[in-house]
Structure 1
Amino acid sequence: MGNAGSSQKISAQDKAILDMKNQRDKLHQYQKRITVITDREKEIAKECLKRGDKKKALLALRRKKYQESLLAKTDAQLAQLEILTSDVEFALVQKDVLFGLQQGTNVLKEIHREMGGIENVEKLLGESEEARAYQREVSEMLGGRMSNQDEDEVEDELDALEAEVSGVKLPDAPTDKLPENEQVKEETPRERARRRAQEQAAQQAAQPILA
């Protein structure tokens, strides 16, 4: 009877909060461990650029960016779930929280696979058939999982790394502040190309179809 009276039943809300904290702890452990891998991926990108292999350098940086963004987005999602669980009546958000926890579990498994040991990272630099097959697999996997913003940031990092390897100093951004009525957001080369492509497509769509 004493045991029955002293035992406390853990509520679904308490369990969800505990699961979230455990997931975040594991995520932070992965963040520390994956730094070794992302640092090596950056070094591989440099080595590839020195050899003139820009394609492999880009692949190494894309993989690095994907891993970093995966960790950051999952951490932000778990933080949001913790706030939701604490601030809103749990019964109202229980379904969403449990779904978010399941997603977090799936992403943690994916991150664990992505880490995969330093030997897989070295395959990004290899020339063997096995290495090339791995490079194709990584490229195809990243194709549908990175946002346009991530891809643009990778291109910018590649440009900066290429300049560093070649010893060319990129021009500093102007520090003078324009008057408010003259402030205009400068387009990046990719944004300019994308805008021109959209304008050309619009022009072609507007042309009458000849009989």
Structure 2
Amino acid sequence: MGNSSSAPKVSAQDRAILDMKIQRDKLQQYQKRITVITDRETAIAKECLRAGDKKRALLALRRKKYQESLLSKTDAQLAQLEVLTSDVEFALVQKDVVYGLQQGTKVLKEIHREMGGVENVEKLMGESEEAQAYQREISEMLAGRMSNQDEDEVEDELEALEAEVSGVKLPDAPSQELEGQQPTLAETAKERARRRAREQEEEEGEGEGRQMVPA
């Protein structure tokens, strides 16, 4: 008699659902691990502020915000894929699902690389040549990868930490803005954008200067 008990075929939809679940599990693992890293980045920012090193404190908070944003965006994308993979008309969206899963794999690898370990976080405070090279690398990598909203939220967090470190209580927001005395939100955003652009230009200038110095 022939072999009538052949293994059941796995459909493309079944494979997509499995891949999606694997990505979801990895993301949940990263979400648990990243708390330790982001807590340390916040602590480093405070230590830098106490030492008067605002630039390095900002770098620690920007790195933290970027990691949190990656996780949040990936979580939202996986939620959308979960809906698509369970669609009864899966054949119509199969290409979109496959592409989404491929992109999700790339992002998860990036998250894994960016998280690194606590030892990398400690380099944010280091003074050695290796540590400073790592700080420049992180700063250059973050440039252009964070939205203006993310940058503004980092600025707000930095101001809150400065107040906490110095023991100064931040004033309550005025119930009625006085004309000519309080900057508008648009003006504040523009001012921050200009300052960030200046800082980026200075960093690029420093990088070019280092490259021109003979060994």
Q: How far is 1:175 from its partner?
A: 7.0
What is the CA–CA distance in structure 1 between the aligned matches of 2:190 and 2:122, rounded to whole Å?
Answer: 35
Q: 1:10 to 1:34 in 2, by over 3 A?
A: same
| TM-score, scaled to structure 1 | 0.82
Q: 1:53 to 1:189 in 2, by over 3 A?
A: farther
Q: How far is 1:8 from its partner?
A: 1.5
What is the CA–CA distance in structure 2 between the aligned matches of 1:168 and 1:127, rounded to whole Å?
Answer: 29
Match of 2:180 in 1: none
Q: Unpaired runs of 5+ in structure 1? A: 177-185, 197-211
Match of 1:49 in 2: 49
Match of 2:28 in 1: 28
Q: 1:195 to 1:121 in 2, by over 3 A?
A: closer
Please give the per-residue CA displacement for 1:180-208, whole angstroms capped at 9, x wherever unaligned. Answer: xxxxxx62652253799xxxxxxxxxxxx
Q: 1:83 to 1:58 in 2, by over 3 A?
A: same
What is the CA–CA distance in structure 2 between the aligned matches of 1:155 and 1:15, rounded to whole Å?
Answer: 43
Match of 1:74 in 2: 74
Please give the per-residue CA displacement for 1:46-93, whole angstroms capped at 9, x wherever unaligned. Answer: 000000000000000000000000001001001011112223611111
SS state of the match for residue 87, structure 1?
A: coil
Match of 1:203 in 2: none
Q: Unpaired runs of 5+ in structure 2? A: 177-183, 195-215
What is the CA–CA distance in structure 1 between the aligned matches of 2:152 and 2:193, rounded to whole Å?
Answer: 14
Match of 2:95 in 1: 95
What is the CA–CA distance in structure 1 between the aligned matches of 2:186 and 2:163, rounded to whole Å?
Answer: 17
Aligned length: 186
Match of 2:120 in 1: 120
Counterpart of 2:55, as a letter, is K
Q: 1:174 to 1:194 in 2, by over 3 A?
A: closer
Match of 1:193 in 2: 191
Q: How far is 1:139 from its partner?
A: 0.2
Match of 2:129 in 1: 129
* Identity across matched positions, percent: 80
Residue pair 2:152, 2:189 contacting (<8 A) in 1 also: no
What is the CA–CA distance in structure 1 between the aligned matches of 2:44 and 2:127, rounded to whole Å?
Answer: 13
Q: How far is 1:3 from its partner?
A: 2.5
| TM-score, scaled to structure 2 | 0.81
What is the CA–CA distance in structure 2 between the aligned matches of 1:150 and 1:195, rounded to whole Å?
Answer: 12
SS state of the match for residue 86, structure 2?
A: helix
Counterpart of 2:121, as a letter, is V
Match of 1:85 in 2: 85
